Amino acid sequence: MKVLRSVQRMQRLAQAWRRASVPVALVPTMGYLHAGHLSLVKRARVLIGSKGRIVVSIYVNPTQFAPNEDFSKYPRDLSHDTRLCRDAGVDVIFAPSDTEMYAGKRDGSFSTYVVEEKLSAGMEGVSRPTHFRGVTTVVAKLFNIVLPQFAVFGAKDYQQAAVIKRMVCDLNLPLKIIVGPTYRESDGLAMSSRNKYLKGELRAQALALSRSLAKARSLVRSQPKGVSAKLLKSELKAFIEREPQARVDYVEFFEPNTLVPVKSVKRGTHMAVAVFIGKTRLIDNAEM
């Protein structure tokens, strides 16, 4: 397994693979890998077979963090990630520096961003207005550097996956986006690198997210004619905030393909939730 830090070296290798008709799958991550990430690697191997190449990018992208967010504190452990990737059969880790990925930022000449304007407008787009511009830009750059035929994302970031799919479709990028299921701890908490922040009682309180999804699903499936989204949001907010360190950022119900909010929640509607547990912001989602 190779660990490459140079954009030029990664791109040169990707071009060689393309000339040799070697299939490539990319698993974009910000590192601090866990079983959820490794499930995406397994999915990638199924897609490309034993003769293909899997690239895991490990890069904490500064352009998707607002100034008041946790960019500097985001957990990083490349040695740990390298061991996991080697054991999982990854062929290349691409772990560039900020200077490599945004060379023009040093002198202020970097001025090109990729922006999706519809699917990114709600939910995370409201709470983190510059977030998706950073995501789409860095992912587009990774696609141009690694030249994959497949890129594998996790369903925990449901809106992100939808935005990336739209970008690929709208810009005619020659690859397929695959979305793997959300991986959860045994008690239901969605796996996230930020779970490291949950110390002491905060870990137990974080279960309010997955429990709110289960509660909503149960209510919706008991009422086939639908449930008022406004009333259900209010009920779930109160349910989550019974935890002393929980503060709801948003609860949203929407049509799964367009992400358009709905007024009546029925089976097949999608729910997404963002909650601060102490200072840690967590997200989760599920189909009702």
**Contact criterion met (CB below 8 Å) for 183 and 190:** yes
- Which residues face 250 on adjacent strands? 274
Q: Give CA–CA dist 135/124, Å, rounded.
A: 12
Provide the pLDDT for residue 275.
Answer: 98
Q: In this predicted model, what pLDDT tens digit does every residue of 229-256 receive, in sequence order?
A: 999 999 999 999 999 999 999 999 999 9
**Catalytic member of 34, 37, 80, 270:** 37
Provide the pLDDT for residue 104.
Answer: 73
What residues of the chain score a pLDDT lower than 50? none
Number of CB atoms found within 10 A of residue 166's CB: 18
**Contact criterion met (CB below 8 Å) for 239 and 245:** no
Q: Give CA–CA dist 38/34, Å, rounded.
A: 7
DSSP assignment letter at 64: G
Instruction: Say whether 37 is catalytic.
Output: yes
Provide the pLDDT for residue 15.
Answer: 98
Q: In this predicted model, what pLDDT tens digit does every residue of 129-186 receive, in sequence order?
A: 999 999 999 999 999 999 999 999 999 999 999 999 999 999 999 999 999 999 999 9
Number of CB atoms found within 10 A of residue 165's CB: 19
Give all domains of the chain, ordered by start, each with its CATH number: 2-180 (3.40.50.620), 193-287 (3.30.1300.10)
